[in-house]
Structure 1
Amino acid sequence: MTKHARTLNERELQRLLDYVAKTKNAKRNRVILLLTHLAGMRIGEVAAVRICDVVSSDGSVRDEINLTAEQTKGKRGRTVLLNERMRAELTRYLQGVTVADPKQALFASQRSDAFTANSLTQVVNGIYKQAGLDGASSHSGRRGFLTNLAEKGVSVRVMMALAGHANMATTQRYIDLRPGVLRNAVELV
């Protein structure tokens, strides 16, 4: 059986964000991480997202990101819904970004070009490791996103749509059973 990426609880996510705040490229890295934790994006999707995918013609942050088949896994486009907190995070981040071309990558590497999925995976995995969150990886945010929704009673069908999965069994594999949830379940009897 393969080992799944660790999901973070709220306290651990805050610890991660506190750590990121003290690092180089703190604003960029915070938004990259939050897109996985708050919007359930795959790290490859985060690497592929462009300014024009996030910012509307009037300059405001969109409430959804429409990803093309080339930007996603599985050869089909999908829509990523952004909650109010994520839109506010993106708005703050974009205030410090110089836009030469709306089709430029939302996140630039140190060389000012777009990240590849692999290079962004390495950056994110390094952040988790440096923050002391053993077992966490670039997939932790996406797994945590779905686990948190499940713990709040969101149906698997809705989670499947939000994750962009074609198969419900795939979505169910993402959900982590944390001890507190099991305890709460037996208390319902």
Structure 2
Amino acid sequence: MVAVLGDYERHLVSERDLAPHTVRAYLGDVRTLLVHAGRLGHAGVDTLDLRSLRSWLALQQTTGRSRTTLARRATAARVFTAWLLRSGRAEVDAGALLGSPRAGRPLPEVLRPDEARALVESAAAAADDGSPVGLRDVAILELLYATGIRVGELCGLDVDDLDFERNVLRVLGKGRKERTVPFGHPAARAVRRWLEDGRPSLRVEGAGAALLLGARGRRIDQRAVRRIVHARVAEVPGAPDLGPHGLRHTAATHLLEGGADLRTVQELLGHASMSTTQIYTHVSSERLRTAYRQAHPRA
């Protein structure tokens, strides 16, 4: 089983070209499955059956795993058993009939438009002294809110990925899919000021073409961006505690409330499925009433 797990990792990395975080998640889930199978008496992956998989998921449920976690692990098991069949390591796909609980889709917390404005304005006011870190923080907040990109996509940006003539940036998203995302003039001004007055002061040898730099002068990492966003949002009175993904939710919600169609928002966010984008279709009751009054003949 150890040898099979190593082969599976090479398949995920080399053949499916999955992101390192996704590979770690899949391997972690499959590893716990194989340990459970060993306790049930399976000496190899060729004897895995549906009953063993269901037993493994049931054990996860009894230990308090959430429905979202159970759904993810069921998916990991199905992907693994399908690979076992394709690679000739098993004669049947044991996970083909494995069901999974429907994961809950709670509505994400978002900032109101006035809170989003206060967020970037307070950060800009704090950066009036021209400190490189302050200028960088403003650029981070403006880009996250203007584009709705993921924190990993933000950290992976290079200077050449921005086109200031068209106000668009090139993003390498999940599955290494490239897309173009527009940004507004406030974000352009913030990034230009960072590039001109902030980045040269922080940059050290080895920074390369990274757009955003950490305190040590090299490409900023995701944990640092999360700390920055949480700290800046905490300065906005009454705002919910949000990280970079909360600003992504906020950008998508404000786009839809401003009149953007769902397909456009899907393209901007880089969602492979429209169903993922539909979580942002929650709207305020006031907007519902306004739309009803404008559209219904008996309103």
Task: Please tell me the TM-score bracket, short chain as reference.
Answer: 0.7 to 0.9
Q: Which runs of 5+ in 2 are unaligned?
A: 1-103
2:278 is matched with: 172
> Which amino acid in 2 is paired with 1:131?
V
Q: Secondary structure at the match of 1:79?
A: strand
1:78 aligns with 2:179: yes
1:148 aligns with 2:254: yes
Q: Deviations over 1:109-151 (max 9, x none)?
A: 1111212223322321232234342232211221122112211
Question: Is this contact kept in 2: 1:49–1:106, CA < 8 A?
Answer: yes
Q: 1:140 to 1:158 in 2, by over 3 A?
A: same
1:35 aligns with 2:143: yes
Match 1:64 to one of 168, 171, 185: 168
Q: Where is the helix percentage greater, Structure 1 or Structure 2?
A: 2
What aligned pairs does 1:1-189 form with structure 2 within 5 A after superposition? 1=104, 3-20=106-123, 21-22=125-126, 25-54=133-162, 63-68=167-172, 72-96=173-197, 97-98=199-200, 103-132=208-237, 133-188=239-294, 189=296
Question: Is this contact kept in 1: 2:210–2:218, CA < 8 A?
Answer: yes
Q: Distance in 2 between matches of 1:139 and 1:4?
A: 13
Deviation (angstroms), 1:108: 1.1
- Which runs of 4 or more aligned residues in structure 1 lie more than 6 Å from their structure 2 counterparts after TM superposition? 99-102
Per chain length, whose mean CA-contact separation is higher, i.e. which structure has more relative contact order (CA < 8 Å, sep 6+)? Answer: 1
Give % identity.
Answer: 24
Q: TM-score, normalised by structure 2?
A: 0.54
Supply the RMSD in Å over aligned alpha carbons: 2.6
Structure ID, larger Rg = 2
> Which amino acid in 2 is paired with 1:6?
E
Q: Distance in 1 between matches of 2:174 and 2:147?
A: 16
Q: Distance in 2 between matches of 1:102 and 1:116?
A: 12
Q: TM-score, normalised by structure 1?
A: 0.81
Q: Distance in 2 between matches of 1:175 and 1:50?
A: 32
Length, aligned pairs only: 182
